[in-house]
Structure 1
């Protein structure tokens, strides 16, 4: 094509071809990152639960009151609350049931991404609603229904692409992500 009067720049066709090539390259890169983002979704969910368990331990120690994390039986969410009548074996009487009673405040609520599911192993106790829970006593150890110490357990996060990450907590309150 002949340029008019020393005109500098690109033609519309050249610009459209360039944009099309860039769009195709971005799409190819996006497909390559799909596995990475699924892995990161799972790791992020596990690290967030680890942080909430650490927060429960810190608050239980600071306030001298049991703090409980209740897991949704459907595997899509968990919540942290201050269990004012929980069993810390130090101060107040307890029901030790892992259920939130009237007046006990919700402190944290986390809903998982639709790309991530959660399963809780059977070693964690279940409350009256059938929901697994972790109770952290004011000394940082896990509580058990009716007093004593909990045995710990595992929570496994899984992506739609079968990536997994497991949060492990033992009876002494140690938390780790595998």
Structure 2
């Protein structure tokens, strides 16, 4: 009897770490439940808003161990959409993103520090226009739970502001337009 209890206890102890491992979530771009948006001042008079229509990625998340969270995202830069074809052509050209030379932008996290329930600071390497920089920004959990199709989902949002010249983009739109705000709004389906 003691051997059976010892074996059961040992089995439970061995299984426990796998139960607390972070789950993998595929970002739901197929259902259009994820968005990468940008916002930049136009000549200091108004805001220009846009998004990237094509991107993919996944993230790891465990509510019991948020410090183990991680994310990887790849953005197809030619999918930029500011709702104006001529402006998009300019933004995709050599003055800005130069999408023919730099077709992808990526973010790969290197760490996460919890700052409270459902909140934290995500750090990682962001590559844009062929330049990779370490960045950190706040993220907030929107929610998690079962979906109507038998799956399980989790959603987050994060925003950061980037200085364009840090990424080799020096086109002069005026002093108010030297930075761009990037917003990542994702919903992932647990795999």
Does the alignment reach a TM-score above 0.5?
no
Larger strand share, 1 or 2: 2
Structure whose CA Rg is larger: 1
* TM-score using structure 1 length: 0.28
More helix as a share of residues: 1
- TM-score by length of structure 2 reads 0.26
